[in-house]
Copies of this chain bind each other. A is one copy, B any other.
Amino acid sequence: MSGRAVTISEVARHAGVAVSTVSYVLSGKRTISAGTRRRVLDSINALGYHPNAGARALASRRSNVIALVLPLRAGMHVPVLMRFASAVVTAARRFDHDVLLLTADEGTAGIRRVAASALVDALVLMDVELDDRRVPLLRELAEPSVLIGFPAEPAGLTCVDLDFAAAGARCVEHLAERGHDEIALLGAPSVVYERGTGFARRTREGFVEAVDAHGIKGVALACEETFDEVYETVRDLLLDQPGLSGLVVHNEAAVGHVLAALRQLDRRVPHDVAVVAICPDDVAERASPPLTSVLIPAEEVGREAVRLVMDKLEGRAVPESTLLTPQLAVRAST
């Protein structure tokens, strides 16, 4: 493995064929006889040949690398991001692509740089905000891109995400079915609503519409993430609405605190208050009691994003919007 790497011409010499023949065996872009193919593949194995990525990129104008751009704000749901990232890498490998990781602190310059230098063939952006400054840049780029999340003006882009409105509605529906007619949504911290993060707003809209549709009472509140603030919010809520019997929590960092607060306020889950969460499965399972939840399908979203970006690379048409249907897992909290 040390010393100079094996090149395609060494493989060609070893197999007794032309360099181009080796290339065609590898790419399959021209027919090669079975015997020749065998000999070439044997030589490749014998010599331990790996095509040089730079040379390949230069000649074929394809780097076989896609960029994965981290969100602008660190604040959010970090474990979920990691699962997105991991899912994107795994999915990309299935298309024989690697993944270059870009952070937001380089701003749009990083995106411009990797695109202009042909370091990447395409881009996937995580956790897009409603008013995302990276979006205008994507529109002028020649390289295809896919967004995870929805900006305010998604026309002409390709976006994929969990259908958070449906998720909010699904939670309401579940509580309504269980007979609860006075419920509340504890959502993201208020700063998240203010800066216009799509998924937080969409969950709230889905919640509000579903509450109306079912003719039940429901309020939507922001929810901070320290225990003390969560405790106060929950206490005040129960004080104001003694009849409240159902809670939807869409805040991964606060969900444990909500349960602790209820415990401390002597409300039993699900007997006094039923709780549905929108959060990753492991958080829901680790809680006490385990929570009925709509899971965040990070793997599926990542996979879908890669599939879409590969379709675009191949010149195939793709839908502008892909919304994944939420799945509710019923556990002990409702």
In this complex, the member of A2, A74, A90, A260 whose beta carbon has the largest number of chain B beta carbons within 10 angstroms is A260
The reply on A105 being an interface residue by CB < 8 A is: yes
| Contact of A286 with B227 in the complex, beta carbons under 8 Å | yes
- Kindly report how many copies of this chain are found in the complex they form together: 2
Please give the distance in Å from A25's CB to the nearest CB on chain B. 17
Q: Which residues of B contact A253 (CB under 8 A)?
A: 286
| Contact of A288 with B227 in the complex, beta carbons under 8 Å | yes
Main DSSP-derived SS at the A contact region: helix
Q: Which residues of A contact B (CB under 8 A)?
A: 1-3, 5, 48, 50-58, 63, 65, 68, 70, 74, 78-79, 81-83, 85-86, 89-90, 93, 98-103, 105-106, 110, 112-119, 140-142, 225-228, 231, 253, 256-257, 259-260, 263-264, 285-288
Between-chain CB contacts (< 8 Å), 18 pairs: A5-B116, A52-B58, A52-B118, A53-B118, A53-B119, A57-B57, A79-B79, A79-B82, A90-B103, A99-B100, A100-B101, A226-B285, A226-B288, A227-B286, A227-B288, A228-B288, A231-B288, A264-B264
Query: Which 9 residue pairs spanning A and B have beta carbons closest together?
Result: A54-B57, A227-B288, A50-B116, A54-B58, A78-B79, A260-B260, A53-B119, A2-B142, A53-B117
